[in-house]
Structures are given as structure tokens and as C-alpha cells.
Amino acid sequence: MIRHHIDPDLLVDYAAGSLPEAVSLMVATHLACCPACRKEVHGHETVGGALIEAGEEAPLGTNALAAVLDRLDVAEPAAAAPALDEQSRKVMPGPLARYVGRNLGDLRWKRIGPRMEKAAIASASPQFRAALLRIAAGARIPVHTHGGREYTLVLQGGIRDDGLEYRRGDVMSLDESHEHQPNATDDETCICLVVMDGPVRLTGRLTRLLNPFLRH
Amino acid sequence: MSLNVAARLWSGSEQIPGLRGRMADATAGNDDPPDYGALIGAVAARSDRQAFARLFHHFAPRIKAYCLRRGSAPAAAEEIAQEAMIQVWRRAAQFDPSKASASTWIFTIARNKRIDAFRRESHPEVLPEDIGQEDNADDGFDALAGAQAARRIATEVAALPADQAEVVRKAFFEDKTHQTIAEELGLPLGTVKSRIRLALGRLRKTMSEFRE
């Protein structure tokens, strides 16, 4: 049961195809877990279809149809779906699994704190970066603020922040004004997808010196 | 009538060379458009090239116009339209008329091709097989009754107050996020958000009348 949904505006931008790739990845991953938001997006896509249907036409070149008919028999290059191990499939919903294309264990995890690891995910968005975080059960995540917007989507375990609890599929959306101190819940290792469009600034006295959070 | 709607929908936008409004065609056709979903079905069932050609005639120029609107150069827009139609051919078997109208399905294909070509990015998608993993008894897709619903929604879009129609058009056709639209129109982000929300709320209400 999803309790923390994606911002409705992002669903419109996703359906319209206006989001940077890393943010679309986060939206699609949430959609795989959330029937309500899927339904929203489908509604927006129907609006897109109606706009196409009723929209203008731009005539194609005279030979366009012939050219396309000639190309129909060329087989589509097969997209090899990666065969992932059971744990990876369980943690990563379909859109994320296809995007990452590797087992969790095969990613390059870097230690970024005493009880926290991060694996960067290559993304075509220059501005938005995506990463997976693995946080030990019950661990405190260092105090930080954001240089930009950050979305955290829980895949396994949970996060508690500001009296709210986030579980699988839930999205925590934070902007630069938000200073927070999230905690992984006690039940199991927390894995989440983080998409951010600015560097994290640590605000604790010691941690500011270390500044390890999400640094490449 | 839905054809006039298109012209009204676009009015207020700058002219783009090579785009043909649909108003002139309005009297040519009767009000019973072909069942495009059935044509996609024919492509899936028996690789029906004639059915494909009819789909091509209808949708390829619309996809090209969409790409031009969203900033593609003419040659690129033409290429994306062709690529999208080839995708329609290849993926026809995945089209499920109980889940989406033909125009909705083709819109998503065109959108993704455009992102691929224009931004060299992908558009991560949820596939039907992804959903089984989660414990969702109710998948909750609205079944929309094909072209009828699409035309009705187009009518509704055109009937929106000008300020709402403008932001919806920008959101869907000009590759702009809420934030960019706000900057461009010199409006507070909250105003843009509420206009889009109001407009989509109206459209969703219309769509719900088409639920089966």
C-alpha cells in the first residue's frame, strides 16, 4: 500500500515526456508499485493521444510510406533482457531492473559513511543523477540539506523522517530548504533509489568536514 | 466538429511552416472515423500492410506535426514519424484495445521515439509484466472507448478557458516542465500548477464518462 505518492505535477510531465531521464526512471519505478498513479498517468496519456488525434498534420515526403514499407521486414534488433538473480528482481521493480541491467551485487558499491553504501547509476541526464543507497537497519543518515531537489524512493526496508514512515514504493521529495535527518527503520537493510539535481551539503559540524554523502 | 476544435486548440500558437491545420478537411470526412484499433489488430494478426498504410496516412503526419511543435527540425521530425510507425508495426501485438485507445498508444510510442532521437535519452516505462510482482489486485486502467473518447476529449481541451488550454498545450507539446512554463509565462509556479490541475481535472471527468 503506497502512502507517499509522486507529486501529481511530475506525473503530468512524465506522461508528456518532459522529464529528465533520471526523474522519469524514478517515476516509472514508482508506477510499477502504485496502481493509483498508473491510472493517473494513463489518463494524462489519453489527453496526449487526443491532442495528437485532433492536432495538426505535417505532410511527409512523397516516398515516406514506400520507404517505411520497405523497412518493415527488417527485424528489430533484439534487446537482450538481463537475467537478474532473485534478490535483484525482488528489490528492483521492472523499469529500474531494465535500466540498471545488472545484479545488485555486481554494482560498484562505495562506502559513504560508517553504515551506508552508494552505487551510482549511469544516466543520460547531465543534471539529475541517480544512485542506489544501501543503509544498515536502524542507521542514522547524516544531517544534510540539498543544493537542489532530491527524490528518494524506498525499495526495501524503510525510512523514517520528520515523523513519517516510507516503505517500498513510497517517495520522499525534498527541496533545498529542507534540512532533515532520516533514519533507516530497524527491521532490515534499507535500499532506495535516490535522484538528485544538486550536490548535498552536510550541515553537521563533523560531517561537514567529511562531506562524504553522495560524493562521486 | 472535433476538427474545428483542433484549430481552436492551436490558435494563439505561433505558425510553424509545413503544418497544416485540420479545419480545411473538416467537411471532407464523415463523422465516422475508421476504427484505428481494429487496424492495429489487423497488423498484429496478419501483418496487414493495407491496414498499416491507413494507419500511416492518419498518424504519421500528426506525429510529424507533434515533433515539429516540440522543437525537432523538419528532417528529424520526418524521421521520428517514420520510426514511430515502424514501431507501431513491430509492437502491434502488444496493443490492447481494452486498455488504451489507438491514439493514446501511438502517442506514447511517438513520445518515446522523440525523446530517444531529440534528447538521446530513454523514457523508462512500466510493462504489463512488471505489475505482477507487486501485490496489486486492482490494476485500474480505464478502458476508454477508442477514437470516440479521444475526440470528445479533444473537444473538451478546446473548450477549456484560454489560460488553461495554453498551459496544457505547453506541457504536452512544447517539451516544458511546469517550472519552465511558469518562467516563460511570467507566472508563479503555483498558478501554472493549479491551471494544469484544473484543466486535467475537467478532462478526467470527461474521460470517466467513457469508462466501461
The verdict on a CB contact (< 8 Å) between A52 and B120 is no
CA distances to A185, B118, B121 from B112, rounded to whole Å, are: 38, 10, 9
Distance CA B108, CA B102 (A): 10
Contact A189, A148 (CB under 8 A): no
Q: Do A65 and B57 touch (CB under 8 A)?
A: yes
A58 CB within 8 Å of a chain B CB: yes
Residue with cell 489560460: B163
Query: B134 and A94 in contact by Cβ < 8 A?
Result: no
> To the nearest whole angstrom, how far is the Cα of B161 from the nearest Cα of chain A?
16
Set of chain A residues whose Cβ sits within 8 Å of the Cβ of B122: 21, 24, 99, 124
Question: Model-level pTM?
Answer: 0.82
Checking if the pLDDT of B27 tops 60, the result is: no
What is the pLDDT at residue A201?
Answer: 53
Kindly report the nearest CA distance between residue B62 and chain A, in angstroms: 5
Q: What is the ipTM of this complex?
A: 0.85
Mean pLDDT is lowest, of A25-34, A192-201, B163-172, for: A192-201
Contact B43, B88 (CB under 8 A): yes
* Residue A26 in grid coordinates: 524514478
Which residues on A lie below 8 Å from B127 (Cβ)? 94-95
CB-based contact A60 B64, cutoff 8 Å? yes
Among A20, A49, A58, the residue with its CB nearest the CB of B64 is A58
Query: Which three three-digit cell numbers place residue A22?
Result: 533520471
Q: What is the pLDDT of residue B77?
A: 95
Q: Which of B134, B176, B204 to mutate to test the interface with A (most CBs of A within 10 A)?
A: B134
Q: Kindly state the helix (H) or strand (E) to which residue B39 belongs, with its residue range.
A: helix B36-46
pLDDT at B181: 86
Cell numbers of B128, please? 504489463
Residue B210 pLDDT > 60: no
Please count the CA atoms within 13 angstroms of the CA of A29 that sit on its side-chain side.
Answer: 32
Please give the C-alpha separations between residue B153 and each of A14, A50, A109, B55, B149, in angstroms, as whole numbers. Answer: 20, 6, 48, 21, 6
- pLDDT higher at A53 or B123: B123
DSSP E strand boundaries for chain A: 110-113, 116-121, 129-135, 144-146, 150-156, 159-161, 164-166, 171-174, 183-184, 190-196, 200-202
pLDDT 10s digits, B72-88: 899 999 999 999 999 99
- Residue A64: list chain B partners with CB under 8 A: 60, 78, 81-82
The backbone torsions φ and ψ at residue A155, rounded to the nearest 5 degrees and listed phi first, read -110, -35
Nearest CA distance, A100 vs chain B (angstrom): 11
